Amino acid sequence: MNHKILQIHPKDNVLVALTDLKAGDSINFENNTITLKNDIAAKHKFSMVDLEPGAQIYMYGSLVGRSKTLIPKGGALTTANVAHDASSFGSKTEEYNWDAPDISRFKNKTFKGYHRPDGQVGTANYWLVIPLVFCENRNVDVIKDAFVEELGFSKPNTYKSLVQQMAELYKNGKKSEIESLSVEEDIIIGKSKIFKNIDGIKFLTHNGGCGGIRQDSEALCALFAGYINNPNVAGATVLSLGCQNAQPDILKEKLDKINPDFKKPVILLEQQKEGTEQHLLSQAIKNTFLAMADADHLQREPAPLSKLTIGLECGGSDGFSGISANPAVGHASDLVVALGGKTILSEFPELCGVEQELINRCTDEVIAEKFSGLMKAYAASAEAVGSGFDMNPSPGNIKDGLITDAMKSSGAAKKGGTSPVVDVLDYSEYVSKPGLNLLCTPGNDVESTTAMAGSGANIILFTTGLGTPTGNPVAPVIKISSNTTLAKRMPDIIDIDTGGVITGEKTIQKMGEEILDHIIKVASGEIQAKAVQLGQDDFIPWKRGVSL
């Protein structure tokens, strides 16, 4: 492997810089000498040939853009000279044959999880408190204040002492000394956990449930049903005002649809029936405490790896994401699928340009047509408001080498590995088939991770090249860096570094196996994902509309 440049696919007519390159440098590639016309920063691309205006640009073997001006051989690809372009897609055109990876190292392994009555197995054991409408958010916050510290679930706040020190200096007229203060993590001994087998009590506040359109409330109830049914959840306390669009009977209907055999405890209290706020809150707190005491009897027991449901996410992506972290996660996904587990690939705006490949990987035409229909409808809704998938790359993506949506998508899709697509789920539908599932969500990190947990993910793999603090209330989020520089700069949020793939020290296959080893440890409660350690509990329901 040339450790300065990379051609990802033999069809590609651009090369990726693996390290910073200078204008005038001569690059030798397959008996071809390319003299660089510009400085090329690591993660960015340059042309292997003269690209005339309108020429197609290929990466990952896929169409990812079109030249707007002449790009000379050795010239840098930028937003000034490249426009988004992607291949069209249609019906399934070929049968797909999959070469499953070798799983001999993992076939007899298990993880220690929480076995639910319906056969699902959780990698954690949480209690949920949910408001059906934003009017109940304050009451949920009151319950949170009452419970979290007293039950031993609070996280140390290392910044309180910093504020105390600053206040003291300011009061004593020593404002100039504030800048020199350092933040050191305090060793805070809080209250011990009352419930030893419960990982936490989570509070999912939001701004929905009423107003908007009725479909918004239907979708919210379906999402909540998925969270309550998630194998990482022991049960839930649900607060209703009474008059809102998101009615309790809608939540029950969605739960019955997801799981006719649903047996978890759900405490439902309606404020307009309970009377005073004090009565509502005291009932909610007492009933929740007693239900959690019952849930605490459940203990971790061995479970086969086929009980894993893994969400596949990326955010804060860079030009290395599609070369290291995403393919490594893709191999881990293939291993889980080969072991009989489920994986979920979402972010439909970031599958732009690879639709036909995924369609051909679908196990039948019905699934393929559902995917095609959802993609077309999503794209049309974006275009109807003057936007489009081409506007998906963020400023950070562009700065670090992902200059078109198709370029970003071709790398993002690598998280799904190579296994067949067994099902396509619309937003808030629950995963049921072992294998790779596609889930319709926005590309927005938190809206997507929120949806995957609502569709049953009990672990989420999250690749990043720039760094992001995203987590989830019920599904541990394992953060995977595409490059070692990020892993060293932000060690507090990164769990796994795949930078060795870029340097040639590790193969995609080896890295994928290491990721699965890490998954097993997190799923067994042996180690905590960094996002869990930091209490990163991001939850944003998708209010169905244009979100890229």
Per-residue pLDDT of the chain (548 residues; tens, 9 = 90+): 567 999 999 999 999 999 999 999 999 999 889 999 999 999 999 999 999 999 999 999 999 999 999 999 999 999 999 999 998 999 999 999 999 999 999 999 999 999 999 999 999 999 999 999 999 999 999 999 999 999 999 877 778 888 999 999 999 999 999 999 987 655 555 578 899 999 999 999 999 999 888 899 999 999 999 999 999 999 999 999 999 999 999 999 999 999 999 999 999 999 999 999 999 999 999 999 999 999 999 999 999 999 999 999 999 999 999 999 999 999 999 999 999 999 999 999 999 999 999 999 999 999 999 999 999 999 888 888 888 787 777 888 888 788 888 899 999 999 999 999 999 999 999 999 999 999 999 999 999 999 999 999 999 999 999 999 999 999 999 999 999 999 999 999 999 999 999 999 999 999 999 999 999 999 999 999 999 999 999 999 998 765 65
Sort strands 309-314 and 342-345 into parallel, antiparallel or unpaired: parallel
The CA distance from 173 to 523, in Å, is 52
Domain presence at residue 516 = yes
**CB-based burial of residue 203 (10 Å sphere; 0-12 exposed, 13-18 middle, 19+ buried)?**
buried
Residues 328 and 276 in one domain: no
Residues 292 and 428 in one domain: no
CATH number of 65's domain: 2.30.130.110
Residues 147 and 277 in one domain: yes
Q: Give the ranges where 185-267 is alpha helix by DSSP (H).
A: 214-229, 248-258
Domain presence at residue 113 = no
Q: Check residue 548 and give its pLDDT.
A: 52
Domain presence at residue 94 = no
Residues 379 and 431 in one domain: yes
Sort strands 309-314 and 459-464 into parallel, antiparallel or unpaired: parallel
Residues 335 and 446 in one domain: yes
The C-alpha angle 244, 250, 256, rounded to 5 degrees, equals 160
Structure tokens at 292: 């959690």
312, β-bridge pairs? 345, 461
Dihedral angle sign, alpha carbons of residues 374, 376, 382, 388: positive
Segments forming the whole domain that contains residue 273? 124-154+191-300
Closest by CA to 81, choosing from 105, 63, 57, 100, is 57
Contact 496, 480 (CB under 8 A): yes
Residues 362 and 266 in one domain: no
Angle at which helices 445-454 and 214-229 pack, to 10 degrees? 60
**Cβ atoms within 10 Å of 400's Cβ, excluding its own:** 23
Tally DSSP H helices, then E strands, for the chain: 16, 22
Structure tokens at 500: 């060795």
CATH number of 524's domain: 3.40.50
DSSP 8-state secondary structure symbol assigned to residue 428: T
Domain presence at residue 112 = no
Contact 531, 470 (CB under 8 A): yes
Residues in CB range of 319: below 8 A, 6 or more apart: 16, 42, 43, 44, 45, 400, 401, 402, 465
Structure tokens at 449: 């991770």
**CB-based burial of residue 24 (10 Å sphere; 0-12 exposed, 13-18 middle, 19+ buried)?**
exposed
Q: Give the ranges where 387-506 is alpha helix by DSSP (H).
A: 395-399, 405-412, 445-454, 484-489, 499-503
Of 266, 300, 334, the residue at which a domain comes to its end is 300
Residues 227 and 312 in one domain: no
Residues 296 and 312 in one domain: no
Of 265, 300, 335, the residue at which a domain comes to its end is 300
Q: Maximum CA pair distance of the chain?
A: 81
Residues 368 and 462 in one domain: yes
Residues 425 and 525 in one domain: yes
Q: Check residue 546 and give its pLDDT.
A: 59
**Cβ atoms within 10 Å of 441's Cβ, excluding its own:** 29
Domain presence at residue 26 = yes
CATH number of 149's domain: 3.40.50.2300
Q: Check residue 399 and give its pLDDT.
A: 86
Number of domains in the chain: 3
Dihedral angle sign, alpha carbons of residues 143, 145, 150, 153: positive
Residues 46 and 68 in one domain: yes
Q: Check residue 389 and give its pLDDT.
A: 80
Q: Check residue 545 and give its pLDDT.
A: 63
Domain presence at residue 166 = no
The CA distance from 35 to 73, in Å, is 8
Of 300, 327, 352, the residue at which a domain comes to its end is 300
Helix (H, G, I), strand (E, B), or coil: what is residue 210?
Answer: coil
CA end-to-end distance (rounded Å), the chain? 36
Dihedral angle sign, alpha carbons of residues 190, 192, 194, 197: positive
H/E element holding 421? strand 421-425
Structure tokens at 320: 């290395």
Structure tokens at 178: 């504030």
Q: How far is CA 288 from the centre of its chain?
A: 30
Domain presence at residue 88 = no
Closest by CA to 461, choosing from 395, 402, 416, 420, is 416
The CA distance from 445 to 450, in Å, is 8
Sort strands 421-425 and 435-439 into parallel, antiparallel or unpaired: parallel
The CA distance from 129 to 124, in Å, is 16
Structure tokens at 484: 């070692």
**At residue 165, what are phi and psi to the nearest 5 degrees?**
-65, -45
Dihedral angle sign, alpha carbons of residues 515, 516, 521, 522: positive
Domain presence at residue 543 = no
Contact 17, 41 (CB under 8 A): yes
Residues 208 and 318 in one domain: no
DSSP 8-state secondary structure symbol assigned to residue 458: S
The CA distance from 122 to 454, in Å, is 14
